[in-house]
Homo-oligomer: A and B are copies of this chain.
């Protein structure tokens, strides 16, 4: 057991630098040299800690992606009402994205480059999705929502959460926003998106 480390060790510095570079340039575009520079170390040292680019890549992003998927679905499992579930799901989703705004773009591009590699641990949310299904059926049985395919609703929810981050450069340009304005917009959406959804499905 050691005391709390104030300055990050080399390994963590590497990971942080790699995350930035990978997110900025994507897996193909990222250069090992750039990661090394950004971490303030030598390229050989980079390979000393993470044998090759692939391992560095996985080391960097598995953490983020795993937290992302588990986080979102867990909060849903804690709810026992569809509307409440939607509200908390959206809020959690947007909060997580605000913490790591470039993650979705990153996930998308990598999912496109090598689908097999990531699809595996999308399944983490299996239990959460099953619970969503239950909440949906309950609400439907109670006559509180209109007829809509549960899958379709889920797609819509995720679209409304993720898209602003994915299309961020386009949005900020279109509406002349800076970073602060973007954050404010997302903060607003924590309320407005669930409202938008629920207005649409309420019976």
Binding site for B on A (CB under 8 A): 25-26, 28-29, 105, 108-109, 111-113, 115, 119, 122, 129, 146, 148, 151-152, 155-156, 158-160, 162-164, 166-167, 169-171, 173-175, 188-189, 192-193, 196-197, 199-201
Contacts and interface: CB of A to CB of B under 8 A. Distances in A.
Contacts of A129: 174
B192 A196 contact: no
Q: Which applies to chain A's interface (DSSP): helix, strand, loop or mixed?
A: helix
Given A28-B29, A162-B167, A163-B166, 5 more contacts: A25-B113, A108-B108, A148-B192, A152-B192, A158-B167
A156 B105 contact: no
B160 A156 contact: yes
A144 B132 CA distance: 33
A112 B119 contact: no
A96 to B, nearest CB: 16
